[in-house]
C-alpha cells in the first residue's frame, strides 16, 4: 500500500472511527452480558437524539435520567427481563444495568462532544468565510491581476496537494492560504507592483514586506485563518534556504512548499509589466530544474503528475 493511500486512510473522519469503536465495544459487551440488553437498547434512544440535537451536556444529563428511569422500573417491575430464558440473579441484574448505564453515559458524552465540535467548526468556517469576503472585496476593487492570480494559484495548489496525498482538511488550508497569500500587496505601492523595469534593492526589500503585511491584515480575522498564517508567512521560502527566510527543507510547512510551486508556475505563465508570459511547458521545465533548490522535489513530482494529466489549466475568475 502506498504512503499516499495510508495518509488518506489516516485522515478518514475521526468521528466515524470513534462511533464505530463505540458500536464494537457495545456489541462485545452485549454478547458477554445477556440478551435482555436489547430491551435496554430502547432506553438509549433519548440520549442519542439528545446528543444529536443539543450537545454534550444535555446528552449526559439525559443518559443519567435514562439510567434512573431503568433502575426505577426494575425496582418496581422485575418482569422487565422476563423475556430471557433464565432470569438473572439480582446481583447479576444490577451489575448488567450498571455496565449498560456506564456505556450509555460515555456514548452520550462522546456523541454530544462530536456535535459541539461540529458546531464550533461550522461557526469557525462562517467567521472565516465572512472575513474572506471582506478581504476579497478589497482585491476586486484594487487589483484585478492579484485576484485572478490568487484564484489560479489556489486551484493549482489544491490539485498539487491532492497528488502529494494531503487530506481534505489540509487541502482546504492550502486553498485558503493560496487565495490570501498576496493580500499584503494591498499595502505595497502600485508603482512598484507594476514597474516595468527591474526593481532597485530598496524596492525589492519593500516588495518582500508584503508577506509580513499580509499576516498583519489577516491576523485579526481569526477563525480557521489562524491555521494558515504560517503557510502564508513561508510561501516565499526556498527549499535550500535562500528565500525570504532562512528556513529550508522540511522546516517549511508542506502547504507553503506546495503554494510556492503553484505561485511560480502561474507567475511564469501570466503577462506582467516587465515581461511576456511564457508557455506552460517552458514554465514546467523551469520548475522541474528548480527541484531540490527552489522547490521541494516531492512537490515538484506531484506538480509534474498533475501537469501530465492536464490539470494545470485554469481560466480567470469572473469579476
Spatial distance between the Cα atoms of 87 and 80, rounded to a whole number of angstroms: 10
Query: Of how many residues is the chain composed?
Result: 319
The answer to whether 317 touches 179, Cβ cutoff 8 Å, is no
Report the C-alpha gap between 166 and 302 in whole angstroms: 11
Catalytic residue among 159, 185, 238, 284: 185
174 burial (CB, 10 Å; 0-12 / 13-18 / 19+) is: buried
Sign of the CA dihedral 311, 313, 315, 317? Answer: positive
Phi and psi of 20, rounded to 5°?
A: -60, -40
**How many CA atoms within 13 Å lie on the side-chain side of 238?**
12
Please state, in angstroms and rounded to a whole number, the distance separating the CA atoms of residues 156 and 296.
16
* 185: annotated active-site residue: yes
Distance of CA 77 to the CA centre of its chain: 51
- Give the span between the Cα atoms of 208 and 36, in whole angstroms: 70
Q: What residues are labeled active site?
A: 185
Amino acid at each position: 500500500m502506498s504512503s499516499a493511500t495510508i495518509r488518506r486512510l489516516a485522515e478518514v473522519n475521526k468521528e466515524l472511527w470513534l462511533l464505530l469503536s463505540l458500536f464494537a465495544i457495545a456489541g462485545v459487551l452485549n454478547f458477554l452480558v445477556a440478551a435482555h440488553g436489547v430491551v435496554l437498547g430502547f432506553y438509549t434512544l433519548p440520549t442519542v437524539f439528545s446528543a444529536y440535537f443539543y450537545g454534550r451536556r444535555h446528552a449526559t444529563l439525559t443518559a443519567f435520567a435514562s439510567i434512573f428511569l431503568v433502575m426505577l422500573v426494575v425496582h418496581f417491575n422485575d418482569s422487565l427481563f422476563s423475556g430471557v430464558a433464565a432470569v438473572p440473579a439480582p446481583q447479576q441484574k444490577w451489575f448488567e444495568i450498571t455496565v449498560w448505564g456506564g456505556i450509555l453515559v460515555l456514548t452520550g458524552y462522546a456523541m454530544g462532544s462530536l456535535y459541539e465540535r461540529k458546531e464550533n467548526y461550522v461557526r469557525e468556517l462562517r467567521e472565516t468565510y465572512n472575513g474572506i469576503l471582506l478581504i476579497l472585496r478589497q482585491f476586486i476593487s484594487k487589483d484585478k491581476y492579484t485576484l485572478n492570480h490568487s484564484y489560479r494559484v489556489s486551484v493549482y495548489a489544491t490539485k498539487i496537494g491532492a497528488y502529494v496525498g494531503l487530506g481534505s482538511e489540509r487541502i482546504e488550508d492550502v486553498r485558503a492560504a493560496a487565495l490570501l497569500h498576496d493580500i499584503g500587496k494591498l499595502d505595497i505601492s502600485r508603482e512598484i507592483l507594476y514597474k516595468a523595469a527591474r526593481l532597485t534593492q530598496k524596492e525589492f526589500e519593500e516588495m518582500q514586506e508584503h508577506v509580513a503585511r499580509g499576516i498583519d491584515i489577516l491576523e485579526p480575522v481569526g477563525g480557521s485563518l489562524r491555521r494558515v498564517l504560517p503557510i502564508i508567512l513561508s510561501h516565499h521560502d526556498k527549499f535550500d534556504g535562500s528565500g525570504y527566510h532562512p528556513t529550508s527543507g522540511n522546516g517549511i510547512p508542506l502547504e507553503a512548499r506546495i503554494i510556492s510551486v503553484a505561485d511560480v508556475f502561474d507567475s511564469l505563465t501570466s503577462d506582467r509589466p516587465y515581461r511576456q508570459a511564457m508557455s506552460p511547458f517552458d514554465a514546467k521545465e523551469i520548475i522541474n530544474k528548480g527541484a531540490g533548490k527552489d522547490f521541494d522535489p516531492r512537490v515538484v513530482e506531484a506538480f509534474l503528475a498533475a501537469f501530465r494529466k492536464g490539470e494545470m489549466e485554469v481560466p480567470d475568475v469572473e469579476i
